[in-house]
C-alpha cells in the first residue's frame, strides 16, 4: 500500500517537473494517434457518407460488418499490419516495421470501422425533414451532402473523439508493429504511453507507470471535455 | 399551372394514391383536405419530387416534372415547400432563410436584402442572429415559410403547415399564406385535415379520400353540395339518412325512409336509392307540428333522446324512427323548455336536404 502511495507522489513529481523522458513519450503518443485519427477521419467521413446515402446491393450487410468490426482486437490489427509490412510481407520493401509510421497505419486501420460506423449513425440521425428541406430548396447533390454534414457536425466531432480515444489507449498494435523502441531520435523511437506503461510496470518501475497512466487518462479526458464544450457552445 | 393525371403511388403493399387527377390554376390557392392517411402528404411530396409516382403524370407550367439531372433541378427550383414538422437548420435564423439563395449562387448583398425583407414580412425582423432552434414552433414555421418564399417560387406547397401550432400561430401562418398569394400571385397547394382552414384559405378544395379526389370544387360547393356520403360525413354533416325516391316532379322529390316521408330538392327519379344529407344547423325543433309552419316543409314527430352541450350550442338528438341531430343555441333550448324523453317535431325545408346517389356512397 505504501509503495502505491509513494508511486503517486513520485508520479506527481515526474509530471510537475516535466520529466523529459515522460514528456517525450507523451508527445509521441499524441502525435502518432493524432495523425492516425486525422487520416481515419479523412477516410471514414466520405466513406460513411457514401455508404449512408448510397443505394447498392449488400449495403445493410456492409453496415453490419462495420459494426462487428467495432470490437476488432487491437492485437489482431497489429498482427495483420505486421504480416503486411514485415520483411517477407507484400509491403516489406517499404521498411516500415518498428517505425512510428507503422503505428500510425495500424491505429488508422484500428479506428476506421468505429469511425465509419459512427459517421453513418451521425448522418442517418439527421432529421428526415431537414433532408427533405434541403432537397426541396433545390440543393445539388454536393450542396446536399455538405449541408447534411454541417447538420451532423457535432456528432461527427464526437466520432473523431471516440477514434482518438481508441487510438491513443490501445497497446496491442503499437507494441507489435512499433516494438516499443527508445532510440536517440524522436521520430525513430516508437515508445508511446501505453507501451511504456506496459514495459515500466513489468520492470517494477511503478511510479513512472502511474505518471504515464495519469497523463494518458488526462489526455483522453481532455479531448472528450474539449469536444463536449464545443458541442454545448 | 399544376396538372395531375392519374397519379398513383404505393408503399410496399399499401396503395396510397390510386389515380389522382386534378388541375390547379395559376395563382390559385388549392387546399387538399381529407382524413389522416388519405395520401395528402404523399401527393405533395410527389409534386415536389421528393418521391416518385408509380403511374400517371405530373406537369407544372405545361412541362412534365419527371426529368433527370439539370432539368429536374430546374423544375424543383420553381417550387418551395413547407413541411408539417417545423424544422430548422442548426444555424442562425438569417442563415436558415438564406439557404435556398446560397444554393442558387445569389450574391451576399442580394441575400442580405432579400432575407431582411423576408424577416420583416414574417414579423421576425431583428431575429436574424438568433439560433433558429431556440425559436418556438410557430416562429420556426414562419422561418420555414420565409425560407421557401425567399427564392420566389412559382408554386408553394404546404403540407399541413399548422398541424402542430397554437391558434395564434395558425392565424399568423394563414394570414401570410393569403398575403403571399395576393401580393406575389404564387400558386399555393396546401394540405390540411382542418376542413375549416381549407374553407378560410382556398379558392378551391379537393377532398382526398382513399387515394383519389372524391370531390373538387369551391369551398361553398364542397361544404353545401357534397357528392358522396363519405364527403358529406367528412365535412361534418351529421345527418345522413338512406332512403328510396317514391315520388318526383318539379325538382322536389318525396323520399321514403322506412315508412317516413321526407320532401327534398332532388334530381333523382322514382325508385332510386339515395342518401339524404342534412346539416344539423338547418334542423329546427318545435313543440307542435303546426307552429310557425310553412307549406311544403318537413315536420317529423320524434322523441328527444339527448341534449348535450357543444361549445356555445346544444346538440339535440331526436329519434324520428331514425336519428336526427339538431344544433341549437342554449337560449333556444331554454325557451323551448324541452327535456329528454319529450315528444317534439323536427322541422326543415326541402332545400335544406341535399340528396346524393346511395351507390356513390
Strand partners, B187: B155
Is A55 part of the contact surface with chain B (CB cutoff 8 Å)?
no
- B360 has pLDDT over 50: no
Among left, alpha and beta (phi > 0; psi -120 to 50; other), residue B39 is left
Q: How far apart are CA B21 and CA B10, in angstroms?
A: 16
For residue B83, the chain A residues in CB contact (below 8 A) are: 129, 132-133
Among left, alpha and beta (phi > 0; psi -120 to 50; other), residue A182 is beta
Q: CA B40, B46, B48, B49: dihedral to nearest 10 degrees?
A: 160
Closest CA to A120 of A73, A70, A77, A170: A70
How big is chain A, counted in residues? 233
Query: What is each CA distance from A204 to A7, A221, B334, in whole angstroms?
Result: 11, 27, 98
Is A87 part of the contact surface with chain B (CB cutoff 8 Å)?
no
Answer yes or no: are the C-beta atoms of B39 and B17 closer than 8 Å. Answer: yes
Q: Where are the alpha helices (DSSP H) in B48-130?
A: 69-76, 93-103, 108-121
User: Could you tell me the residue ranges of all domains in chain A?
Assistant: 2-232
Q: Which residues of chain A have pLDDT under 50?
A: none
Which pLDDT score, from 0 to 100, does residue B227 have?
87
Answer yes or no: are the C-beta atoms of B276 and B262 closer than 8 Å. Answer: yes
Q: In Å, how far is A50's CA from the nearest CA of chain B?
A: 19
pLDDT in tens, B271-285: 888 998 999 888 888
Query: What is each CA distance from B105 to A57, A136, A139, B108, in whole angstroms?
Result: 36, 16, 11, 9
Indicate the burial class of B52 (C-beta count within 10 angstroms; 0-12, 13-18, 19 or more): exposed
Which pLDDT score, from 0 to 100, does residue B292 have?
53
Backbone angles phi, psi at B92, to 5 degrees: -75, 165
Answer yes or no: are the C-beta atoms of B237 and B327 closer than 8 Å. Answer: no
Strand partners, B275: B242, B356
pLDDT in tens, B116-174: 999 988 888 889 899 999 998 889 999 998 999 999 899 999 999 998 888 988 998 99
Q: In Å, how far is B149's CA from the nearest CA of chain A?
A: 10
pLDDT in tens, B163-221: 888 898 899 899 989 999 999 999 999 999 888 888 899 999 999 998 899 999 999 98
Which pLDDT score, from 0 to 100, does residue B210 have?
87
Backbone angles phi, psi at A218, to 5 degrees: -65, -40
pTM of structure: 0.81
Options 1.10.3720.10, 3.20.20.140, 2.40.50.100, 3.65.10.10; CATH for A2-232 is 1.10.3720.10
Say whether A136 and B89 touch across the interface (CB within 8 A): no
The three cell numbers locating residue B14: 399499401
Interface test with B, best of A127, A138, A233 (most B CBs within 10 A): A138
Q: Are strands B252-257 and B239-249 parallel, antiparallel or unpaired?
A: antiparallel
H helix count then E strand count, chain A: 11, 0
Question: C-alpha angle with apex A221: A219 to A227, nearest 5 degrees?
Answer: 105
Answer yes or no: are the C-beta atoms of B103 and A137 closer than 8 Å. Answer: yes
Q: Which residue of B has its CA nearest to A154?
A: B90
Say whether B147 and A133 touch across the interface (CB within 8 A): yes
Which pLDDT score, from 0 to 100, does residue B188 have?
94
For residue A132, the chain B residues in CB contact (below 8 A) are: 45, 50, 81, 83
- Looking at per-residue confidence, does A35 or B233 come out higher? A35
pLDDT in tens, B160-178: 999 888 898 899 899 989 9
Mean residue pLDDT across chain B: 88
Q: How far apart are CA A219 and CA A173, in angstroms?
A: 20
Q: How far apart are CA B148 and CA B103, in angstroms?
A: 12
Q: Give the mean pLDDT of B102-127.
A: 91
- Looking at per-residue confidence, does A111 or B294 come out higher? A111
Q: Give the mean pLDDT of B37-64.
A: 90
Strand partners, B63: B60
Q: How far apart are CA A225 and CA A206, in angstroms?
A: 28
Interface test with A, best of B76, B90, B134 (most A CBs within 10 A): B90
pLDDT in tens, B234-264: 888 888 988 888 888 777 888 888 888 888 8
How big is chain B, counted in residues? 361
Q: How far apart are CA B204 and CA B207, in angstroms?
A: 10
Q: How far apart are CA A206 and CA A176, in angstroms?
A: 23
Q: How far apart are CA A70 and CA B278, in angstroms?
A: 67
Q: Taking CB atoms and an 8 Å cut-off, how many pairs form between chains A and B?
A: 55
Q: Which residue in this structure is represented by grid cell 387527377? A: B21
Query: What is each CA distance from B92 to A41, B110, B132, B228, in whole angstroms?
Result: 27, 18, 5, 49
Half-sphere exposure in the Cβ direction for B301 (13 Å, CA): 6
Which pLDDT score, from 0 to 100, does residue B123 have?
87
Q: Give the mean pLDDT of B315-335.
A: 87
Q: How far apart are CA B344 and CA B228, in angstroms?
A: 30
Answer yes or no: are the C-beta atoms of A39 and A202 closer than 8 Å. Answer: no
- B318 has pLDDT over 70: yes
Q: What DSSP letter does each residue of B265-318 carry, written as one string? A: E--PPTT-EEEEEE-GGG-EEESSSSTT--TT-EEEEEEEEEEEEETTEEEEEE
CA A38 to chain centroid, in Å, comes to 9
Looking at chain B, the whole-number percentage of residues with pLDDT higher than 90 is 37
Which pLDDT score, from 0 to 100, does residue B361 have?
41
Interface test with A, best of B76, B155, B164 (most A CBs within 10 A): B76
Q: In Å, how far is A140's CA from the nearest CA of chain B?
A: 7
pLDDT in tens, A119-131: 999 999 999 999 9
Question: Domains of chain B (ranges plus CATH)?
Answer: 2-232 (3.40.50.300), 237-360 (2.40.50.100)
Amino acid at each position: 500500500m505504501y509503495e502505491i502511495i509513494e508511486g503517486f507522489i513520485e508520479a506527481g513529481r515526474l509530471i510537475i517537473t516535466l520529466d523529459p523522458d515522460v514528456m517525450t513519450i507523451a508527445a509521441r503518443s499524441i502525435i502518432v494517434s493524432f495523425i492516425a485519427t486525422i487520416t481515419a477521419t479523412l477516410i471514414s467521413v466520405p466513406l460513411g457518407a457514401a455508404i449512408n446515402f448510397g443505394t447498392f446491393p449488400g449495403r445493410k450487410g456492409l453496415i453490419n460488418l462495420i459494426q462487428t468490426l467495432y470490437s476488432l482486437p487491437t492485437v489482431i490489427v497489429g498482427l495483420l499490419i505486421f504480416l503486411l509490412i514485415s520483411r517477407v510481407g507484400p509491403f516489406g520493401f517499404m521498411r516500415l516495421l518498428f517505425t512510428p509510421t507503422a503505428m500510425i497505419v495500424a491505429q488508422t486501420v484500428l479506428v476506421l470501422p468505429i469511425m465509419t460506423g459512427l459517421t453513418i449513425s451521425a448522418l442517418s440521425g439527421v432529421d428526415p425533414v431537414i433532408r427533405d428541406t434541403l432537397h426541396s430548396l433545390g440543393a445539388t447533390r454536393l450542396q446536399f451532402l455538405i449541408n447534411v454534414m454541417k447538420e451532423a457536425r457535432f456528432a461527427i466531432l464526437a466520432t473523431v473523439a471516440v477514434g482518438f480515444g481508441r487510438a491513443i489507449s490501445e497497446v496491442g498494435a503499437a507494441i507489435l508493429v512499433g516494438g516499443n523502441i527508445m532510440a536517440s531520435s524522436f521520430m525513430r523511437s516508437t515508445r508511446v504511453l501505453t507501451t511504456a506503461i506496459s514495459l515500466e510496470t513489468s520492470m517494477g518501475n511503478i511510479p513512472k507507470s502511474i505518471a504515464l497512466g495519469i497523463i494518458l487518462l488526462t489526455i483522453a479526458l481532455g479531448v472528450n471535455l474539449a469536444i463536449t464544450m464545443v458541442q454545448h457552445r | 399551372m399544376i396538372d395531375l393525371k392519374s397519379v398513383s403511388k404505393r408503399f410496399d403493399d399499401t396503395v396510397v394514391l390510386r389515380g389522382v387527377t386534378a388541375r390547379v390554376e395559376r395563382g390559385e390557392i388549392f387546399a387538399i383536405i381529407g382524413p389522416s392517411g388519405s395520401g395528402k402528404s404523399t401527393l405533395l411530396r410527389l409534386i415536389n419530387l421528393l418521391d416518385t409516382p408509380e403511374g400517371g403524370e405530373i406537369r407544372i407550367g405545361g412541362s412534365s416534372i419527371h426529368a433527370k439531372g439539370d432539368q429536374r433541378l430546374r423544375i424543383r427550383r420553381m417550387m418551395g415547400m413547407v413541411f408539417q414538422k417545423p424544422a430548422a437548420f442548426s444555424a442562425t435564423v438569417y442563415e436558415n432563410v438564406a439557404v435556398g439563395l446560397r444554393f442558387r449562387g445569389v450574391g451576399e448583398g442580394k441575400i442580405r436584402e432579400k432575407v431582411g425583407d423576408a424577416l420583416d414580412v414574417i414579423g421576425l425582423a431583428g431575429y436574424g442572429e438568433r439560433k433558429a432552434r431556440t425559436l418556438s414552433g410557430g416562429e420556426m414555421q414562419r422561418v420555414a415559410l420565409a425560407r421557401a418564399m425567399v427564392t420566389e417560387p412559382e408554386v408553394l406547397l404546404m403540407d399541413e403547415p399548422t398541424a402542430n401550432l397554437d391558434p395564434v400561430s395558425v392565424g399568423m401562418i394563414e394570414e401570410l399564406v393569403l398575403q403571399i398569394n395576393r401580393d406575389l400571385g404564387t400558386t399555393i397547394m396546401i394540405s390540411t385535415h382542418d376542413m375549416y382552414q381549407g374553407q378560410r384559405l382556398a379558392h378551391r378544395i379537393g377532398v382526398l379520400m382513399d387515394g383519389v379526389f372524391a370531390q373538387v370544387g369551391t369551398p361553398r360547393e364542397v361544404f353545401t353540395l357534397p357528392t358522396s356520403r363519405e364527403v358529406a360525413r367528412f365535412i361534418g354533416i351529421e345527418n345522413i339518412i338512406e332512403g328510396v325516391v317514391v315520388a318526383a316532379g318539379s325538382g322536389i322529390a318525396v323520399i321514403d325512409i322506412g315508412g317516413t316521408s321526407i320532401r327534398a330538392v332532388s334530381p333523382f327519379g322514382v325508385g332510386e336509392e339515395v342518401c339524404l344529407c342534412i346539416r344539423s344547423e338547418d334542423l329546427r325543433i318545435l313543440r307542435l307540428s303546426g307552429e310557425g309552419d310553412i307549406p311544403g316543409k318537413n315536420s317529423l314527430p320524434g322523441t328527444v333522446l339527448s341534449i348535450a352541450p357543444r361549445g356555445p350550442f346544444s346538440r339535440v338528438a331526436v329519434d324520428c324512427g331514425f336519428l336526427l341531430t339538431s344544433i341549437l343555441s342554449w337560449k333556444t333550448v331554454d325557451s323551448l323548455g324541452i327535456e329528454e324523453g319529450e315528444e317534439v317535431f323536427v322541422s326543415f325545408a326541402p332545400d335544406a336536404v341535399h340528396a346524393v346517389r346511395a351507390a356513390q356512397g
